[in-house]
Chains A and B, each alone.
Chain A
Amino acid sequence: MPDGWAERWNLRLRFFLFFALILLGTSASIAGAMIYLAAAAPQVPVNALVLGGGVALFASAGLTLWVWLKFDDHVAQPLMKLGAELRASVHAGTPREIPQDTGRYLGLLAPAVREAAVALLEARADVEEMVAVATAEADRQKGQLEAVLRDLQQGVVICTLDHKVLLYNRFAHHLLDQGRSGPLGLERRLTGLVAGQPLRHSLERLTRRFSSGRYRSHKDGLAAQFIGTTACGHESLRGRMSLILGEEEREAIGYVVTFDKVTDELAAGIWRDRLLQDVTRDMRQRVATLSLSGEVLLRKAPMDDAARERLRETVDVETRALGERLDRLDQVAGDLLAGAWPMTEVYSSTLMDCIAARRSEGRELSAVVMGDPLWLSCDSATVVDLVDRMMNRISVWAQVRDFRLSTSRREGTAYLDLLWAGEPVPEPVLEGWLDEPLEEALGAMTGRDVLSRHKTDMWSDILGGGQARLRLPLAVAVEHQDRPMKSTAPLAPRPEFYDFDLFARPTPSTIGETLLRNLSYVVFDTETTGLEPSRGDDLVSVAGVRIVNDRVLRGEIFDGLVNPGRPIPPASSRIHGITDDMVAEADPVEQVLPRFYAFIGDSVLVAHNAAFDMTFLSKYQERTGLRFEQPVLDTVLLAGHIFGASESLTLDALAERFGIVIPVEDRHTALGDALATAEVLRKLIALLTPLGVVTLSDAIEVSNRQVALRRRQRRY
C-alpha cells in the first residue's frame, strides 16, 4: 500500500479509535449505571431500565458517531489535505492553489500553511538565485583564469602533496609532452614527467619552512626556485614552486609550479662559463710565461742596472695588472653562470636536515646536525644530492655509519662540513667520486658540475683526534637584517594577489553612489602615547589593511612604527606593547605619515572609533602638509545603526558577535586591530544591505544619524 494511503488511514483511524474509545467508555458507564440502579432500586421495573439504558446507549452512540463524522470531515480530512497540498507545493516548486473551503474550521492554520508554503518557495527561489549567481560568478572567474593560463607563455601545474596533477595549462602540456613519459594529465604524477628530485626537495624545503614558521620572514615566503629537467632529460626547466595552504592555513595541501624552458639559456650559460674559464686559464699561463721570459731576458740582456730595474718594474706592474684583469674576468664568468643558474637562500639547518633525511641508497646511516644555523646561497637540490652522494661513498670507503653535519662561517664564506671518525678521503678518490653522474639530479650532471655551478670546490682533510672532514665552502646569503624591509609585519599567510572582479567593475560617476561592497577601503588603527593629542600625546604606530571588492587583502598592509620623539608612558606600553627601545630606530611621523598617505590613495578610510584616530592623523597636518580628506566610515556608528546604540559596540564585542578571532598577541596592536576591524566591516556591510544601506552615501547618512543620536543622548 502506498505511504500516502497508510498515513491518511492511520491519522483518520487514530481519530476513529479515539471516538470509539469515548463511545465504549460512555456505554460502559451507562451499563454500570443500569446495574447499579437495578441493585439499589429493585422497585424500578427491569424493562424500564433496559429501555432507558438502550435509549441512552443509542443516543450516545449516535452523538459520538455524528461528532466523529463532523470531526473527520472538518478536521482530520482538511489536515490531511493541507499536509498533502503543502508537500505538493514544496515538491512541485510552485505554490499550489488550496481551495478556500479547505480547512475553514481550522482557524488560522489553513492560511498559515498557505503563507508558509509561499515563504518557503520564495526562500528556495532566493537561494537558487544566489546559487545561480555564485555559480555564474565562479564560471566567469574560472573562464578568466583559464584564459589567463591558456595565454601564459609559462608552464603552470597545480599538484597535491603527492605530486598528482590537479590543473595544468597548455604551455605545460606542450613542454612536458615528451612521448616516452606519456602526456601530462589530471591525476598523473608530475614526478613521472619531470626529474623528481628537485621537485621533492623543493617541496620538502617549503614544508619545513612552513612548519618552522620561517616563511614569515623569508623573502620568498612559501616559494622556492629550482632547476629541473623533463623526465627524458631533453629539456632544462627553471621552476618556481609555491606551497598552497588549506582553509585554516594550518597545513599545506598542495603546490603550484610555474616553469620556463631554459635548455638553450642554460647551455649557453654553461658554454660561456667554460669558454671564459678556459680563456682565462690559458691567458694566465701565457702571461706567466711572458712575464718570466721577460725577467730572464732582462737578466741576460746587456744593459745598465738602472735600465734593467726600470724594465723589471714595468714587467712586474703589467703582470700584476693583467692578473687583476683576469681575476675580474673570472668573477664575470661566475656571475654569468649564477644568473642562469638560480641560487636561492637556504637556511643551513633545513639543508642539513634534508641531507640527513635523504637516504638515497637506503643505507643505515646516522647524520647528526650541528653548528649554528646560517643562511646560505646555493642551489640546495643539487647540494643535497652531492653531499648525500659523498656520505654514501665515504660510508663504504671508510666503513663508517655515523656522521656529523656542521656549518660554520668565516667572513663571506660558509662551510658545510661532513665529519666522521677515521681517515680523510685521498684526493684522487674524491676526484673519482666527483666525476660520477648524480643519478637523480639533472641529466648526467656530476658532482664536479655541481661544484662548478657554485664556483666552489670540495676537499677532505684531517681534523685531529681521529676525525676526518669533507669540507664544502658555499656562499653566505645576504644577511636578512641588512635587507631593507617594507614592513615589520609578518607576511600574510595567504596574500590576495589577484581579483578578477576588478575587471568587471564599473567606474562610478561619484564615489557616494558606489555600492559599499564595491568600494576600496583602508581600514586602519593607531597606537599612541596616550589618549589626549591636544595635551601632547603622539602616534607610536599606525597600521592599515586594504579591502578591495569585499576582500581583505592581507598581503597589502601598512605597518609602521613611529618614533614619537618623547618617552612612551609605561601605562601605554602595557596596552600596546610598544616600548621606547622599539621606536628608537623608527622613523619620525614626518616620514611615516606620507608613506601611509600614499598607501591610502583614494580609498575610503575606516576605523573603529574613527574620530580618535582621525584626530591624531589631523594633528600633524601642519608638520606633514597632509590633509586626510578621504571619506571616513566608523564601524562603531555602522554597528550602532544595525544593533542599536544601547548594545556593546566595542571591537571585542563585535568580533565576538561575528565569530572573528583576534589573537591575544595581536589585540591592541595597530595591525591586529586594523585586521579585526576590517573583518567586522565586511560583516557590517552584509548586514547593512538588507536595511537599505547600500551605497557610501547611505552609510555616511546613517552614520550622521548615529552621531546626532549620541549627541542627544549625551545632552540628556
Chain B
Amino acid sequence: MTARVLIVDDAITLTGFLKDLIEQDGYLVDTADTAGTARAALSAHPPDIVLLDAELPDGTGYALCQSMRGDPLSREIPVVMMSACSRAVDIEKGQALGADAHLAKPFTASELMSVVARLLTETPGLAGRANA
C-alpha cells in the first residue's frame, strides 16, 4: 500500500516542487496551505506522515502539531517540522510539542527523502510503506 504524505506549507511554489519530488518517489501526496485546511485533510485522508511548516497564515505549525498529538486519530502520525529557523530552541520546541524530526530550510531533496523514509520505517505499522 502506498504511503500518503501531507505537505502543509503556505509557500505554494515550494510545496509544488516538494509534491513533485515525493510523488516521483512513489508516494501519494496531499497539500494544505493553512492549518485549517490541514485539519480538514487530516480528517478526510489521514496521512502516514506530515511535512509541516512552522509558520502558517492562521497559526503556527507547532500549534497544529500539538493539537495532532492530542487527537487520538492523528496522535501516531509522524510529523516532520520544516522551518526557516535553525536555532536549537526551535528544534527543541518542535520536539517538545510532538514533532519527530526537524528540517531547517534550505534542505536538499536527499535529506528530505531520507528523513521521510526513516520515519515511515521507524513508525509501527508503516514499516512497509517507505519507498525510498
Which A positions have Cβ atoms within 8 angstroms of B? 280-281, 284-285, 287-293, 295-296, 299, 312, 315-316, 319-320, 322-323, 326-327, 330, 413, 426-428, 431, 455-457, 459, 461, 471, 473
Q: Cβ of A330 and Cβ of B87 under 8 Å apart? A: yes
**Docked CA distance A457–B89 (Å):** 7
- Give the docked Cα–Cα distance between A256 and B13 (Å): 58
Asked if B84 and A431 sit within 8 Å, CB to CB, the answer is no
Q: A287, B20: Cβ atoms under 8 Å?
A: no
Contact indicator per residue, chain B 93-110, by CB within 8 Å of chain A (1) or not (0): 100110000001111111
Residue B44, interface by CB 8 Å: no
Of the candidates B24, B60, B106, which one forms a contact with A431 in the assembled complex, judged by CB atoms under 8 Å apart?
B60
Instruction: With CB as the reference atom, state the residue of chain A lying closest to B110.
Output: A316
Structural contact, B17 and A296, CB atoms closer than 8 A:
yes
> Given contacts A289-B14, A461-B97, are A473 and B67 in contact (CB under 8 A)?
no
The answer to whether A457 touches B14 (Cβ under 8 A) is: no
Pick the residue among B21, B62, B86 that contacts A459 (CB under 8 A).
B62
Q: How many angstroms from the CA of A401 to the CA of B85 in the assembled complex?
A: 35
Q: How far is the CB of B30 from chain A (nearest CB, A)?
A: 18
Among B20, B63, B89, B108, contact of A296 (Cβ-Cβ < 8 Å)? B20
Q: Which residues of B contact A (CB under 8 A)?
A: 11, 13-14, 17-18, 20-21, 24, 59-60, 62-63, 66-67, 84-90, 92-93, 96-97, 104-110
Q: Is A295 a contact of B21 with CB atoms below 8 Å?
A: yes
The answer on a CB contact under 8 Å between A285 and B89 is no
- Residue among A288, A327, A459, A473 with max Cβ neighbours from chain B (10 Å): A288
> Is B108's CB under 8 angstroms from A320's CB?
yes
Q: Are A456 and B106 in contact (CB under 8 A)?
A: no
Our count of residue pairs bridging A and B at CB distance below 8 angstroms stands at: 94
User: Which residues from B are CB-within-8-Å of A285?
Assistant: 11, 14, 84, 105
Residues of B within 8 A of A320 (CB): 108
Question: For residue A295, which residues in chain B have a CB less than 8 angstroms away from its CB?
Answer: 17, 21, 108-109
Chain A hits for B13, CB < 8 A: 289, 293
CA distance A322 to B107 in the complex (A): 10
Judge whether A284 and B17 touch: CB under 8 Å: no
Q: Chain A residues with Cβ under 8 A from B18's Cβ?
A: 292
CB distance from B10 to the nearest CB of A (A): 10
Closest chain A residue to B109 by CB distance?
Answer: A295
B112 closest partner in A (C-beta): A292
- Of B17, B21, B84, B87, the contact of A455 (CB 8 Å cutoff): B87
Contact of B97 among A291, A326, A427 (CB under 8 A): A427
A376 to B107, CA, bound (A): 33
| Contact A291/B66 with A285-B11, A330-B87, A461-B97 known, Cβ cut-off 8 Å | no
* Chain A residues closer than 8 Å to B87, beta-carbon distance: 330, 455
- A397 CB, nearest partner CB in chain B, Å: 15
The chain B residue with its CB closest to the CB of A281 is: B84
A288-B107 contact in complex given A456-B89, A459-B96, A473-B89, C-beta closer than 8 Å: yes
Q: List, sorted by A's number, 20 A–B pairs whose CB atoms are closer than 8 Å.
A: A285-B84, A287-B105, A288-B105, A289-B13, A291-B107, A293-B17, A295-B109, A296-B20, A299-B21, A319-B108, A326-B106, A330-B85, A413-B88, A426-B63, A426-B67, A427-B59, A427-B97, A431-B59, A457-B90, A473-B89
In angstroms, Cα B14 to Cα A431, docked, is 26
A319 touches B60 (CB 8 A): no
The 5 nearest A-B residue pairs measured at CB: A427-B63, A288-B106, A295-B109, A292-B17, A287-B106
Given A284-B84, A296-B21, A471-B96, are A316 and B105 neighbors across the interface (CB < 8 Å)? no
Q: A281-B84, A455-B87 given as contacts; is B96 within 8 A of A291 (CB)?
A: no
Task: Establish whether residues A289 and B11, one from each chain, have CB atoms under 8 Å apart when the complex forms.
Answer: yes
What is the CA–CA distance of A428 and B88 in the complex, to the nearest angstrom?
Answer: 21
Question: With a CB–CB cut-off of 8 A, which chain A residues contact B93?
Answer: 457, 459
Residues of A close to B14: CB separation below 8 A? 285, 288-289, 292
Which of chain B's residues have a CB closer than 8 A to the CB of A471? Answer: 96
Question: Which residues from A are CB-within-8-Å of B66?
Answer: 426-427
- Please, which residues of chain A bring their CB within 8 A of the CB of B89? 413, 455-457, 473
For the complex, give the distance between the alpha carbons of A394 and B87 in Å.
27
Q: CA separation between A471 and B94, bound complex, in Å?
A: 13
Q: Known: A292-B17, A431-B60. Is A315-B90 also a contact (CB below 8 A)?
A: no
Q: Which among B14, B88, B89 has the greatest number of chain A C-beta atoms within 10 A?
A: B89
Instruction: Tell me how far the C-beta of A620 lies from the nearest C-beta in chain B, rounded to whole angstroms.
Output: 52
Q: How far is the CB of B131 from chain A (nearest CB, A)?
A: 15
Q: How far is the CB of A281 from chain B (nearest CB, A)?
A: 4
Tell whether, in the assembled complex, residue B86 and residue A327 are in contact, meaning their CB atoms are under 8 Å apart. yes
Given A455-B87, A457-B93, A461-B96, A322-B63 contact (CB < 8 Å): no
Q: Considering only CB atoms, which chain B residue lies closest to A454 in the complex? A: B89
